[in-house]
Amino acid sequence: MPPLSILVWLPAACGLLGALLALTRAASGAGAAAAAPAPSALEIAAQEKAEESAERGAWCVPGVIALIGSVIALGLSIGYIADFKAGTHGLQHVTDVVWIAALGIHYKLGVSGLNVFLVGLTTLLFAVATLAANMRSWERPRLFYFNFMLAESAVLGAFLAQDLALFVAFFDLMLIPFYFLIGGWGREPGRVKATIKLVIYTLVGSLLMLAAAIATGVLAAQQGGGHITFVLSSLQALPLSKGSQEWIFLFFAAAFLVKMPAFPLHGWMPDGYRAMPIEVLMVFSGVLSKVGAYGFLAIVLPLFPQGAAHFQTLMLLIALVSILYGSAIAFTQTDARLIAGYSSVAQLGFITLGIFSLNPQGAQGALLQMVNHGLVVAPLLFIVALLSHRAGGSEDVRQMGGIAFRAPVLASIFLIVSLATLAMPGSSNFVGEFLILLGVFKTKLAIAVIAFTGVVAASVYALRLFIRAMHNRVGSGVKSREMTLMDGAVLVPVIAVIFFFALYPQLALHRSEGSVKAAVASAHAALSPPAPAVAAAEPAATPSTQTGSGGEAASTEGAQGATEQQSSEAQSGAPSETSESGTATQSEGAAGSAAGSAAGSEGEGTAQPERSPLK
């Protein structure tokens, strides 16, 4: 397989190449127009209109090159999944180059069981989202596709980074293209407001994480002889004190919970989901939210296990409230986008619940559910866009209805996605939620019982969305029609992967098992306090402590005589009373004590009062 850097930077390179080619083409066209005879005013207007239509139309040069780059990245990620050696928790396909030697920062990338399927999910969703974006026109397509591809590179870099400083750099880089994608191509009204709220929330979280990352490197250097490093494996070998781990854990948790989002740090979500173009929202909800959950598994639990154990109950309560709150609001919403948005809050609550069960079953369920949620929410949002086109541009479920009348294929695909959303038995989502609840049952029984209501609520809001849109009476502005072949090209690959994981979830579970166990091992061990040291010896008067090792429970004076007698009897081949008492079980300890005392009296000729061996 090629180096991981090719996978990471290929999308951004294709986005830049497409922008440059389109710019060169526009410049050459302008030069040819300057050399030609001066056209009339009508010809100029027609030419400008044609150029604008070509620039903004579907299948423009930047869009096609971006699509080629995303498909190649998808092929590479499939190759890494196929080449991944299961049964190990170590890194594979490692790229490690010293980046900033004075600060101990490495450009280190690696594939592990924690990120291999998340990388595949990222490339798949970006590929189908880029295909969907090519089906419509965009203003300034060169900039749009460049930012879109830069976002894919940033997400891939965050998943593959094995250096804490490099992870923070990619984590912050993700914010830049989405700032422009929402602010420049978002929907009105509320585009600017949504952009500002998103930037404020995520920027505050990123600054907290940056401070925590620097503190981690500095404090670890003080314990490691003064040489600073940010390589994750090196930091894990230099554990911080319990107090340092606790406050650093809170800083990382704030950054990751904002990105997911989770209650109560989800304030940017409603405006952001309304404003984002649907193609951007597909990857934002399907992939970016998983970076926060992945950060808990790959960074927080291995580096700050005592902090994770200390705040376990707090994180479980945040996850539980996210499940209940997201489910309740999703049920009351009428905007189809926000139904998907608040259902994501609930599903990410389940993922957080599994991670902070701090046992392998819950963590494996959480990792599988990250992949499942991305595979479900991206086609769901694309279907919302298709429903909106058939309902006169409205995304209000009250204005939909009867769309399934002349669109049986669309209705069937929508039903598959809905059943996967509610974790129907037989789906991969069911396996993920089952493992999560199993892990939480072993940790906090009461929280697991309450969280089960989220499974029931998911069936309510998922089926409500499906029934209101596809059945009931036909809405006044609804035009029922089947989806096109291009719509199918977007949906069918994702649906095929959903079916594959439903039939064989063991592929992901087997490849992630070793890495998940290694990630949660330290935090799981920190939950149980160390067992008290066993006393070196106990008073001989306690019968249950007799071990029968040759009259050791006898008095100090009697021990010498017993030893001499045992030695003489051993030479004659006859066992002594002391030897017999030495084979006595714990239940016969009283008899062993008496035998030891008798041996002592025979050795000295006079019985002595028993004393503790410690005396």
Query: Poorest-confidence range of 4-8, 53-57, 525-529?
Result: 53-57
Q: Encode 441-453: b = buried (16+ Cβ within 10 Å), e = exposed.
A: bebbeebbeebee
Q: Does any domain span residue 34? A: no
Q: Does any domain span residue 19? A: no
CA distance 331 to 238: 47
Dihedral over Cα of 415, 421, 422, 424: its sign: positive
CA distance 304 to 530: 18
Q: How many CA atoms lie within 13 A of 571 on its CB side?
A: 5
Q: Does any domain span residue 195? A: no
Computed on alpha carbons and rounded to an integer, the radius of gyration of the chain in Å comes to 33
What is the reported pLDDT for 369?
93
Q: What is the pLDDT of residues 547-568, one digit of tens each?
A: 333 333 333 344 344 344 443 3
Contact of 220 with 231, CB cutoff 8 Å: no
Q: Encode 243-270: b = buried (16+ Cβ within 10 Å), e = exposed.
A: ebbbebbbbbbbbbbbbbbbbebbebbb
Helix axes 312-332, 336-355, angle to 10 degrees: 160
Dump the DSSP string for 208-229.
HHHHHHHHHHHHHHHHTTS---
Cβ-in-10-Å burial (0-12, 13-18, 19+) of 226 comes to exposed
Q: Encode 341-365: b = buried (16+ Cβ within 10 Å), e = exposed.
A: bbbbbbbbbbbbbbbbbbbbbbbbb
| Max CA pair span of the chain | 135
What is the reported pLDDT for 87?
73
CA distance 145 to 513: 37
Q: Does any domain span residue 447? A: yes
Mean pLDDT of 31-49: 55
pLDDT at 524 over 60: yes
Closest CA to 288 of 368, 178, 392: 178
CA distance 345 to 323: 7
What is the reported pLDDT for 250?
94
What is the reported pLDDT for 602?
38
Contact of 61 with 22, CB cutoff 8 Å: yes
Q: What is the pLDDT of residues 294-333, one digit of tens each?
A: 999 999 999 999 999 999 999 999 999 999 999 999 888 8
Query: Poorest-confidence range of 22-31, 171-180, 375-384, 489-498?
Result: 22-31
Average pLDDT, the chain: 81
- Three-state DSSP at 572 gives helix
Q: How many residues does the structure list for the chain? A: 615
Amino acid, res. 521: A
pLDDT at 480 over 90: no
Phi, psi of 89 (to 5 degrees): -110, 5
Q: Does any domain span residue 13? A: no
CB atoms within 10 A of CB 38: 8
Mean pLDDT of 157-175: 94
Mean pLDDT of 385-414: 85
Amino acid, res. 599: A
CA distance 593 to 540: 8
Closest CA to 437 of 514, 524, 546, 361: 361
Amino acid, res. 162: Q
Check residues 372 and 615 and name the one with the higher pLDDT: 372
Contact of 497 with 125, CB cutoff 8 Å: no
Q: What is the pLDDT of residues 74-105, one digit of tens each?
A: 999 999 999 998 877 788 999 999 999 888 89
CA distance 173 to 160: 14
Q: What is the pLDDT of residues 101-151, one digit of tens each?
A: 888 899 999 999 999 999 999 999 999 999 999 998 888 899 999 999 999
CA distance 415 to 398: 19
Q: Does any domain span residue 63? A: no
Show the domain range for 465.
Answer: 311-524
Contact of 318 with 257, CB cutoff 8 Å: yes
pLDDT at 592 over 70: no
pLDDT at 222 over 90: no
Q: Does any domain span residue 512? A: yes
Q: How many domains does the chain have?
A: 1
- Three-state DSSP at 108 gives strand
Contact of 475 with 391, CB cutoff 8 Å: yes
Q: Does any domain span residue 203? A: no
DSSP alpha helix (H) spans, 296-359: 301-303, 305-310, 312-332, 336-355
Q: What is the pLDDT of residues 493-510, one digit of tens each?
A: 999 999 999 999 999 999
